[in-house]
Amino acid sequence: MKNFLILISSTGAGHKIAGISIKNLLEDFKGEKTFIFDVLKKSKFPFSISDKIYYFLANYPSLWKFFFYLSNNESYKKFVKIQNFFLKDIIRSIIKEIRPKVIFSTHPFYVPILYELKGKYKFKVISVITDFGEIHKAWTVEGYDLLWLPSEYSKKELERNKSLKGNFEVLGYPVRRGFRKISSFSNNYILVMGGGRGAGPIFHVFKELKNLNFKQLYVCGTNVKIEKKLLNIKEKEELHQIQIIGYTEKIHDLMSNSLAIISKPGGSTVAECNYLQKPLIAIDPLPGQETGNTKFLESTGSGILVDKIENLTNIVKDILKGKIKFEFIEKIKDYDEKQKKFIKSL
């Protein structure tokens, strides 16, 4: 028996969702025992509150941009020593307990530490990139046996930046089991999402689109405050074309029945929309990786960026009228068989 270990983080949904998706693939096509750990949460302070730091910085895009680009160069190697000090003990203890033969890492912080440990504990490291563009330098540091690339677009960008080193393979972005099992589609409504936390400018989107004569579904996640606020306006103004819900485990079904999706362009959201061939109307991207994800959308005909919320109504109307077309030049779903074959080969 081979034990598989997946190291994830809660700093943004993509790292966690990619890990869950790989766990689904291993369970469905390999049948080996799989363990999944959020290492940052179990590490020493301040890395133990990395998720809180991430969401704080995400509320201040200029601050996020400063730190993203400050470390997105050769100086990143200086950060590696700090990361290793705070994370190495917990990663070593997990490896000693699980004794994995293959470790998937969906966050780049872990790879340099795994590189130090794999000589003694004899495992293979697969680093899974969770964004499509503006790929941070951290993803390409030495340490992985294989770099899992989410798209041909990502490969070309890394080659253009001369950042692609070592062994790599374009395997597509891993999506969760629920998406792989969707068999029917419809175009019933515009879906507005704020992720599990209900983040992003949902309220501003609601205000802009609430009088549009087309069905709209707003998913507020665990953000009860915004859910109640939207429900109050809906009832007061009798907006019968609008439905508002909180957290759901059926997001794949909701996405498959939408005409288009409005959301921040996180890596997993971009991948899942593309997988279902549902256009993503990207709003409020963070500088760095989300800006890069938006470039993927536009380069592959998978979506469009709305830089000002007040332009949203006209863009949605143009989509409804068929004036804006989406080609989906690169389809994440086309990688299904390649992923399945790769997982079976491990």
Q: What does the pLDDT read at residue 216? A: 98
Q: Which residues of the chain fall short of a pLDDT of 70?
A: 1, 195-199
- Residue 72 CA to residue 134 CA, distance in Å, equals 9
Token output for 243: 């439905």
Q: What does the pLDDT read at residue 204? A: 94
Q: What does the pLDDT read at residue 163? A: 83
DSSP characters over 12-44: SHHHHHHHHHHHHHHHHHT---EEEEEHHHHSS
Token output for 242: 């609008």
Residues 6+ apart with CB under 8 A from 236: none
Residues 6+ apart with CB under 8 A from 144: 105, 111, 114, 115, 125, 126, 127, 166, 167
Please state the pTM of the whole predicted model. Answer: 0.95
Q: What does the pLDDT read at residue 195? A: 67
* Residue type (1 letter), 232: N
- Residue 333 CA to residue 245 CA, distance in Å, equals 28
Helical (H) or strand (E) element with 127: strand 124-128
* Residue type (1 letter), 318: D
Q: What does the pLDDT read at residue 82? A: 87
The most distant pair of C-alpha atoms in the chain lies apart, rounded to whole Å, by 65
Query: Contact, 19 vs 106, CB < 8 A?
Result: yes
Query: Contact, 195 vs 269, CB < 8 A?
Result: yes
